[in-house]
Structure 1
Amino acid sequence: METRRRVACLLGGLSLWLLGGAAPAGGYAPAPQQNAAARAVLIINVRLFTGGPTLSPPSNVLVLGNAISRISRDPIALPTGAEGMTIDGGGRTLMPGLIDAHWHTMLVALTPAQLLGSDAGFANLVAGAQASAALMRGFTTIRDLGGPAFSLKRAIDSGLIAGPRIYPSGAMITITGGHGDFRQLTDLPRTPGAFTRMELLGGAIVADSPDEVRMRAREQLMQGASQVKLTAGGGVSSPFSPLDVSTFTEAELRGAVEAAENWGTYVTVHAYTPAAIQRAIAAGVKCIEHAHLMDEATARMMAARGIWLSTQPFLDDEDATPFPPGSFERGKQLEVIAGTDRVYQLARKYRLKLAFGTDILFAPNLAPRQTAQLPKLKRWFSASEILSQATAANGELLRLSGPRNPYPGKIGVIEQGAYADLLLVEGNPIDNIDLLDDPERNFRVIMKDGRIYKNTLTG
């Protein structure tokens, strides 16, 4: 019996080694733990942002391990025997860490040409540096909507590098000639079974039938995807995908939805036009990315069916992705920008479930402007509504992943038992949302998972 037990242990260890130490999506991020013997951080004299139009009265927050243990207006003492520290907030604002619901961890800093011409090791190192920078901008969680982010997520969750929590989609699934297909005409015709460099890297993958879509979706789920991303219509940055096209058929979209639902999670799609959005909804998609060209009938449909809208304040300003003047991509970008005001007006009118994301892509010079996208929303929303989109609302969207949620605790709120992902802000962002435009100066403390990554109040 002892020999059998040893053999079983060896086989189990060998299996883990063959999988590269891989684990299910939640394997590196346990639920919040409130253990009095764990590390403790007591934050005193702070005013809390809890989603309303005003901040709380002066309050105190106790963090034990990686969770919020207690919130009180009365004094709180550090638990006996706990290894901890006290931070005096000095009346500053304590708010949940920011969440970016549309980020591309692996694609933000490299152009398509650089990505395709680089080895995977270099691309991961660049992405790791960008992930650490995003955390230092106050983004404690991101939903990755296209790219091979699984290894980076594992490294962050294991504590090897600093970075936000990642809800990965894996490779975005597209069709021949669709958004995400970065082949050139010289790459055609495609040999069945052959894969492009982008597909081998895991950035995007082409699927041209319901069965193939189902297979590619399952492959992403097998690797630990928390949700599945498809490109249901044309895009700006891909060379051969006009904005007006609807790409997948309804049957193809339904193949991905079936695969995701079998795993207890959902499909989100890149789509701008009413036709692409409505087809995706008919197939069972739960979230629409962008939708800048949608019409009123589509907004009504989304409201009636409780479909999430994850969109971005694309404007023709200094943060617009720089395309060469007169280029086809620049023309498509301006068409999308022209729809920004309308998409937010429709979202307000029909009270759509609204998430905030940035979708900064292939632009390392724009990545530092991640928080600056939030103040742009003040032409449509109050400061408290903007902050809620980037915290509690996004946290609610992330919970659509169900059992595939890699972080089963509550995110985006300051509540007892929630993950301790917190920002201490210099000033009151409800009175001045522009404070978020300068996170280096105004985010005095950044905490993720109960660990302090920045503290300029001490030392």
Structure 2
Amino acid sequence: MCLCCAEIALIDGEAIDCCLCGAPQTQAAFARIAADLDRRAMLGGTAAILGMFAGFGLVPSEVRAQTPGRPILLTNLRYFDGSTLAMREGRDILVEAGRIVALPPAGQGPQEAERIDCGGRAVIPGLIDAHWHSTLVAVTQLQAMAGDIGFVHLMAGREAGATLRRGFTTVRDTGGPAFGLKLAIDRGAIPGPRILASGAMISQTSGHGDFRLLNELPRADGDLSYSERAGVVAIADGRAEVLRRTREQLMKGASQIKIMAGGGVTSLYDPLESLQLTEDEMRAAVEAAADWGTYVCAHVYTPEGIQRALRAGVKSIEHGQLADIEAVRMMREEGASWSIQPFLMDEDANPRTDPVQRAKQEEVSAGTVRAFEMGMAEGVNMVFGTDILMNPAGAASQGRQLAKLTRFMPPLEVLRMATGAAGELLAMSGERASYDGRLGVIAKGAMADLLVIEGDPQAGLDWLDRPDESLALIMKGGAVVKEQVQ
């Protein structure tokens, strides 16, 4: 019996499977549809499929897939490669089968290639947001924690298209039920960035991921909260339970594991300075992730929590705005990445009206400037993330928040945080990344994620706040999803 249909009829007393999903004709049709989607023929044979999403704004306004068997050559350009802090000239960019296959000298690309004249504009790698919540960004906290999960996922689908149109071709999802969205994007059903999903955030009881109300305590054995059932969080206490919940996320397809190692702003009951998960509990998650060839990232702000996480083998510190110099140096010595956000208590801050949340938010903001200064001075691998959370109106600030970092470092160093440096972090997922190719760089063999911009990235990044005007071309995996190059 097919699990997707589960239809059985009784004929002469014998159970007969009526589902036609396994029929040769049906399987052949499925294969044809899959092939069409894989070629990203979104404006051709898939138009009928995508039409159902149009009412939610899930269909990009412009999509032009690469002509099968014919490479694309971007010409008349200068480019930032995502690693070297300089603009380069004298090269074209040759794209084939979704990858950058060569950087030939200008004017020497293959004659048969389909040419895109960039008109002297700058080209940069597609941007990476290393701390994004695909299913939690476009809904309020009430909707996320108590609303209809179908609505949550539809809003996430709409926001995925907007994220891509802002030039973010890849996101590392650091918590939430993003596996279905990732699958829909990867199959070409809806537009959106690549997603490296963590799945449910693993939290101790009373930790940053425990969003239960006080009247829901005590917890009965096997009694899951709504946020656990929805896949937003997984509450785990003790080594055995942490192993179980970590392995469940890996089974679902997690690229990396997210744990809560300290107090947070959004949660009401845990103090910001609290240490969460013992070192042994953290190590259990690290060991389970390592068995699958990937790593653990940890939400944590304080020096003590950062150092505990690093001792347990955590390879990515999320936030860390209250770090001291010893914790920062330990990050550098352990080779960990620092996924840090511009929490500056300005107009783009996640809205918080509860006085407890507001006080914690102000404390984190006060440490942000010093954290950036220490990270730069000590040479930690800092990567950009926004952590726009349960803030529908704030999602559009994604590019602007990256541009803010120019107060701490030169523009190309800022761009490296959201391209090459982030790509190095994502590569730590190994085979669990599910994307076979380098991200965040313009180099031979890298994924063909490219932005052609109206602006000078060496002079400033204000253009990031105007993606509709400033992004003349957006390419993801060799497919042109926006083109206004004239």
Contact 1:29 1:407 in 2 (8 A): no
Deviation at 1:53, TM superposition (A): 3.6
Deviation at 1:165, TM superposition (A): 0.3
Matched residues in 2 for 1:96 and 1:302: separation?
26
Deviation at 1:115, TM superposition (A): 2.1
Question: Which position in structure 2 is the counterpart of 1:385?
Answer: 413
Question: Which position in structure 2 is the counterpart of 1:413?
Answer: 441
Matched residues in 2 for 1:453 and 1:339: separation?
39
> What amino acid is aligned across from residue 222 of structure 1 in structure 2?
M
Aligned pair count reads 429
Question: Which position in structure 1 is the counterpart of 2:13?
Answer: none
Contact 1:36 1:79 in 2 (8 A): no
Change (3 A) 1:327 1:149: same
Deviation at 1:434, TM superposition (A): 1.4
> What amino acid is aligned across from residue 47 of structure 1 in structure 2?
R
Give me the TM-score of the superposition, normalised by structure 2.
0.85
Deviation at 1:253, TM superposition (A): 0.6
Contact 2:38 2:188 in 1 (8 A): no
Contact 1:58 1:91 in 2 (8 A): no
Question: Which position in structure 1 is the counterpart of 2:74?
Answer: 43
Question: Which position in structure 1 is the counterpart of 2:319?
Answer: 290
- Cα-to-partner distance string for 1:384-435 (whole Å, 9 max, x where unaligned): 1001110000000001112212112011111111110000001211112212
Question: Which position in structure 2 is the counterpart of 1:24?
Answer: none
Question: Which position in structure 2 is the counterpart of 1:4?
Answer: none
Question: Which position in structure 1 is the counterpart of 2:235?
Answer: 206
Q: Do residues 123 (structure 1) and 152 (structure 2) align? A: yes
Q: Choose from 20, 45, 52 the match for 2:84.
A: 52
Structural mapping, 1:200-239, within 5 Å: 200-239=229-268
SS of residue matched to 1:173: strand
Contact 1:229 1:268 in 2 (8 A): yes
Change (3 A) 1:211 1:426: same
Contact 1:293 1:336 in 2 (8 A): yes
Q: In angstroms, what is the RMSD of aligned CA positions?
A: 2.2
Contact 1:424 1:444 in 2 (8 A): yes
Contact 2:133 2:176 in 1 (8 A): yes
SS of residue matched to 1:261: helix
Structural mapping, 1:10-409, within 5 Å: 38-50=69-81, 51-78=83-110, 80=112, 85-324=114-353, 327-409=355-437
Structure 1 residues not aligned, in runs of 5+:
1-9, 15-20, 22-27
Change (3 A) 1:262 1:79: farther
Contact 2:131 2:384 in 1 (8 A): yes
Matched residues in 2 for 1:363 and 1:42: separation?
39
Question: Which position in structure 2 is the counterpart of 1:6?
Answer: none
Matched residues in 1 for 2:217 and 2:328: separation?
38
Structure 2 residues not aligned, in runs of 5+:
1-18, 24-29, 31-36, 40-65
- Cα-to-partner distance string for 1:318-368 (whole Å, 9 max, x where unaligned): 1011222x6111110000000001111110121001111000000010000
Matched residues in 1 for 2:400 and 2:22: separation?
47
Change (3 A) 1:130 1:36: closer
Matched residues in 1 for 2:207 and 2:169: separation?
32
Deviation at 1:259, TM superposition (A): 0.4
SS of residue matched to 1:371: helix
Contact 2:294 2:430 in 1 (8 A): yes
Change (3 A) 1:79 1:209: farther
> What amino acid is aligned across from residue 457 of structure 1 in structure 2?
V
Question: Which position in structure 2 is the counterpart of 1:438?
Answer: 466
Deviation at 1:121, TM superposition (A): 2.1
Give me the TM-score of the superposition, normalised by structure 1.
0.90
> What amino acid is aligned across from residue 275 of structure 2 in structure 1?
S
SS of residue matched to 2:339: strand
Deviation at 1:240, TM superposition (A): 1.2
Matched residues in 2 for 1:65 and 1:263: separation?
28
Question: Which position in structure 2 is the counterpart of 1:25?
Answer: none
Question: Which position in structure 1 is the counterpart of 2:45?
Answer: none
Matched residues in 2 for 1:74 and 1:313: separation?
38
